[in-house]
Amino acid sequence: MLKLAPSILAADFKNLGQQVSDVSLAGAQYIHLDVMDGAFVPSISFGMPVISSIRSCTDRIFDVHMMVEEPGRYVSEIKVAGADLICVHAEACTHLDRTINQIKEAGLKAGVALNPATPLSVLDCILSEVDMVLIMSVNPGFGGQKFIPYTLTKIRELRNLCKERGLDTDIQVDGGVTCDNIRELIDAGANVFVAGSAVFKGDAVANTREFLKIFEEY
Ligand code: DX5
Ligand code: ZN
């Protein structure tokens, strides 16, 4: 199933609760929450207090993208804040297997994220253990960047790998996703689409509906 995950990084933070509730009512299935620590990525975004403050605004899946060094340190706090799914970067975990298991043992869905230049081979041992793989299609740290075209090949290769292994792992794509390139991403095998600027710049309800209308073609 195709799912839209609006990234609140591009939302209007002074009306955050309203924006989250608007995109949820418009039909977005996930809310994508970008936690940045100023170390793994250059910027600092937000953390637990913001996540917990908007938890009551929606019943949608809280998909927390941890752009944080050693994110295993925060699994229980992110869970308490309201996460349903925690996605950690392979590049940020010294003990990726341990961190993934920590997330699953906390009763949450677990995802692993790869930067654009990180090869799929790092997934070899962990692929069957995760619910989702996040393919970054920009270098993480900022919203509003341009989609990096070679990541399309990565998505295609990952979908083939999952098929070969009999896995129906969710493949999420994050960065520069728009209504203009989403069909290519669907064709390549992605099924969870993060969109920040393309949802929240302008009319978030109309933009959400436009994405969901494209999903109906499939
Ligand atoms: C970037 C974040 C993204 C970001 C996407 O590091 O992981 O989730 O919000 O923003 P857009 O859709 O504007 O590229
Ligand atoms: Zn993200």
Q: Which domains does the chain possess? A: 3-215 (3.20.20.70)
pLDDT of 105: 98
Which atom in ligand 1 lies closest to the alpha carbon of residue 195?
12
34 is catalytic: yes
- pLDDT at residue number 129: 98
CA–CA gap between residue 103 and residue 88 (Å, rounded): 10
Residue 51 has what pLDDT?
98
Q: What is the ipTM of this complex?
A: 0.99
**Are residues 183 and 153 in contact, defined by beta-carbon separation less than 8 angstroms?**
no
Q: Quick one: pLDDT at residue 31? A: 99
The 10 Å CB-count burial string (b at 16+, else e) for 5-40 is bbbbbbbeeeebeebbbbbbebebbbbbbbbbbeeb
Query: What are the pLDDT digits (tens) for 2-22?
Result: 999 999 999 999 999 999 999
142: CA distance to ligand 2 center in Å?
A: 9
φ, ψ dihedrals at 110, nearest 5°: -120, 135
Query: Per residue in 143-172, is it b (16+ CB within 10 Å) or e — as a string?
Result: beeebbeebbebbbebbebbeeeeeebbbb
Mean pLDDT, rounded, for 47-51: 98
pLDDT band with cut points at 50, 70 and 90 for residue 149: very high
Residue 189 has which token pair? Answer: 């095998």
pLDDT tier at 122 (50, 70, 90 boundaries)? very high
Rounded to 10°, the helix 204-215/16-25 angle is 30
- Mean pLDDT of the 159-166 span: 98
Query: In whole angstroms, what is the distance from residue 199 CA to residue 189 CA?
Result: 21
Check 22, 34, 37, 63 and give the catalytic one.
Answer: 34
Q: Which H helix or E strand runs over 63?
A: strand 61-67
At residue 53, the pLDDT reads 98
State how far the alpha carbon of 185 is from the alpha carbons of 78, 135, 151, 159, 179, in Å.
29, 11, 10, 11, 10
**CB-ligand 1 contact for 143 (6 Å cutoff):** yes
Identity of the residue numbered 180:
D
Ligand 1 atom closest to 196 (CA): 12
Q: CA-CA distance, 217 to 198, in Å (whole number)?
A: 19
On the CB side of 199, CA atoms within 13 Å amount to: 34
